[in-house]
Structure 1
């Protein structure tokens, strides 16, 4: 499935003016580039590798940084980078083994991720089917497959009493949610299945945007009626199942409605609604998991979704910041050069995923500043770095940070940057100087 990077396309429209502002701001720094690099070298945490199962000695300083956090969100500047995915796998391993995390959620469909969860918890199916269930080409990679297999192996180990659970918080698909709701109804209310099937048959993941305004409005009203039925029959349904099973089925149905709502919109309305719903889903996951004693979660998404602040855009991260405040820690990712996979930005419907190369990041970008430390891989905690007044001012200025996502235009490389204030947008940053493309699986 090709991801339409609507966030990217809309943000590019505002980049022109903001780029000029950012470039001007960068020129106003009161300390020189070389002096700033020397100060920062003493503030960052060099990392030895992006690969999981490599030990935690270099990550140990993160224990104090993340010790009181309930949410650790980890972003990425492209959806097609091997090292970003590997580093996220390593972060998950660290959070599970050293920090007691057992919940993981990524930018994937709520229902689709249940297939992965069934695999890592119960061994249903196989790892290839689990990865393919996530639908998006971005996640059909060797790196994501390796992470999921690590989760399965962790859960299989009888020494690990509390198991890892896998969730999706996105709202762009309905197929699995439909199946799960119907499975639940077979147990609690078989007489209503025909009614639900009649509504579900009116749409699928591919035809929502072509239903037409009136028909789509009618379908959304139908789903609202089904949600009302769930409310009315709550006690009956719980008596024939359980409170947790009822809540999960209700959430599946609710996400069907959210998907219809998002896909009926366009532009910034689409983007803002999607991120609002994704944040709501993260909160729901944490609320739902309280009954099992799980209160900490790692999130995987694009920088643009995890960020706490983005010009002209209300991100998932900004919603979560209001909900969880200091209980959340947001880590952005950035790179200086290398290869990645993406769809070429084109009007052609037959465009295919390609490998792109960025030989170096422009001198007026945040990536260039980070590259000047001459450390190939490191983590920077902004709160610690900002103890230096000069660095705090520098992090408080507008910067250009890569925001490539799933699409890229080699003819408009400046359009692949988003202007952001690092200190307001992220709590920390993982910098990888040289990246390579993710490895697709069939």
Structure 2
């Protein structure tokens, strides 16, 4: 059911104060004209100026299933590539599987739709993400290799892509070793499946043996591997082994210490893998595409779990002011998500939220009347009243791939739509916010995703 939240957002308990704050906010925001990625970049120049000094640009999203968020991020990536020379695009997707996407955007090899489908993320198998991939390929066509944009995933949730890469690598680098570890490679391969703990479905003992055996081999025979393949392929193979290890660490954390521990392992792994990608590609800047809960500078606030340090918090610690976290918010409109529980049997469908909470950031942005608005928190300047308001914890929209409705599996206070409005001190968590008034669902590439 879709709710018209436009009028609700202007009816706060203190209308005069909301109107006063909205007037102040209008003086600080930049209104964007469109989400169309092919449009002129003129309206994006203030956004580009805010991002110009950042080595890592974290591009968030308030849901994993909103078309306008994807289109706006596409626009920003295009402007960063064309106008600021950015040459590394990183994504919240399993690192080994995205080698197929990199092969396409850099060399024109393979099928981009199939490569997106191979990431195991329904969230990215959409026409909006495919449009960005196709544009990256178009931009790279005919350019010197060193000037082409590279595409790297940074996630570590599955073993299957890493196992496939290692198997193919060892077939060339050391066929005898491949035969020796063949059974453990097969048992380590989770085939893109998860356990009932929502973690990689691999064989623990075989995976531990594989890690021990190949870690020793890379330490002792790295030069031989490089001679048989190349330095770049050997580095990627070693990173794939590290992804297997990260995936294993996440499962152990989940089984022994709970979901928060698993979240911590995952976000630490993504930060490590992004730093590796910068070094591996020789790029000095990266645009990072991920969820708001990951890119924020503070904590990953997941529905029904305690907060844990986010990917962005690790990046902020490593890069300081060279990291820019851009969050997203929206007033109303439908989006795609999996209903109720994250299992293969869950329903991927279209959902919407009720009116935003009172005194939320969402309501204040809506009161400005803006359709698309960008706020850089540094741009609030000397407006002490506005800065004081934002210094308090405020709610904004935030949900990932899962929608928890009031008809959830239990009737606790945590059920319902409050789970999808995360409370943060926004200037601590993000450097800027992009607001979209009305959203539409992302569009899947297959009929089953529509």
1:326 — aligned with what? 321
Instruction: Provide the rounded CA distance (Å) in 2 between the counterparts of 1:183 and 1:65.
Output: 43
Matched, 1:440 2:433: no
Separation in structure 2 between the aligned mates of residue 127 and residue 238 of structure 1, nearest angstrom? 29
Report the Cα distance in structure 2 between the residues aligned to 1:437 and 1:229, rounded to whole angstroms.
47
Work out the CA distance in 1 between the residues paired with 2:64 and 2:54.
26
Correspondence list, 1:95-244, <5 A: 95-158=80-143, 162-205=147-190, 206=193, 216-217=204-205, 219-244=207-232
CA shift digits 1:367-390 (9 cap, x unpaired): 111111111101100111153211
Structure 2: gaps of 5 or more residues: 1-11, 302-306, 407-415
Supply the RMSD in Å over aligned alpha carbons: 2.5
Matched, 1:83 2:68: yes
- In 1, the alpha carbon distance for the partners of 2:443 and 2:201 equals 40
Worse overlay, 51-60 or 219-228: 219-228
Partner of 1:342: 337
Aligned CA distance change for structure 1 residues 207 and 223 (closer, same or farther; 3 Å): farther
Q: Work out whether residues 128 and 145 of structure 1, in 8 Å CA contact, stay in contact via their aligned partners in 2.
A: yes
User: Are positions 1:426 and 2:430 aligned together?
Assistant: yes
The Cα shift of 1:224 comes to: 2.9
In structure 1, the partner of 2:28 is 43
Q: How big is each residue's C-alpha offset from its partner over 1:295-333, in whole Å with a ceiling of 9 and x where there is no partner?
A: 110001110000111263100000111001111100000
User: CA separation in 2, counterparts of 1:241 and 1:341?
Assistant: 43
Shift in alpha-carbon separation, 1:149–1:410, aligned structure 2, 3 A: same
Determine the C-alpha separation between the residues in 2 that align with 1:174 and 1:348. 18
Q: Deviations over 1:159-200 (max 9, x none)?
A: 897111111111012222212122222232221111232211
Q: CA deviation at 1:222?
A: 3.0
TM-score (normalised: structure 2): 0.86
> How far is the alpha carbon of 1:351 from its aligned partner?
2.5
Relative to structure 1, is the Cα distance of residues 374 and 130 closer, same or farther in structure 2, using a 3 angstrom cutoff?
Answer: same
Q: Which residue of 2 aligns with 1:295?
A: 284
User: What's the offset of the Cα at 1:207?
Assistant: 6.0
Once residues 70 and 43 of structure 2 are traced to their aligned partners in structure 1, the CA distance between those partners, rounded to angstroms, is 18
Shift of 1:216: 1.6
CA distance in 1, matches of 2:79, 2:383: 28
Q: Give the counterpart of 1:255 among 218, 221, 243.
A: 243
Are residues 177 and 375 of structure 1, via their aligned partners in 2, closer, same or farther at CA, if it must alter by over 3 Å? same
Moved more, 166-175 or 325-334: 166-175
The residue number in structure 2 matching 1:277 is: 269
Change in CA separation of 1:27 and 1:422 when aligned onto 2, cut-off 3 Å: farther
User: TM-score with structure 1 length normalisation?
Assistant: 0.88
Distance in 2 separating the partners of 1:429 and 1:369: 12
**C-alpha deviation, 1:208, in angstroms:** 6.2
Q: Is the 8 A contact 2:395 2:423 kept in 1?
A: yes
Give the number of aligned pairs.
413
**Which sections of structure 1, spanning at least 5 residues, go unmatched?**
1-25
- Note closer, same or farther for the CA distance 1:214–1:440 as it changes in structure 2 (3 Å cut): closer
Would the aligned equivalents of 2:184 and 2:206 in 1 still touch at CA under 8 Å?
A: no
**Contact 1:208–1:216 (CA<8 Å) still a contact in 2?**
no
2:386 is the counterpart of 1:391: yes
Contact 2:159 2:200 in 1 (8 A): no
Pick the aligned partner of 1:246 from 210, 219, 234: 234
Distance 2:280 2:203 in 1: 33
Runs of 4+, deviation exceeding 3 Å: 26-29, 157-161, 207-215, 346-349
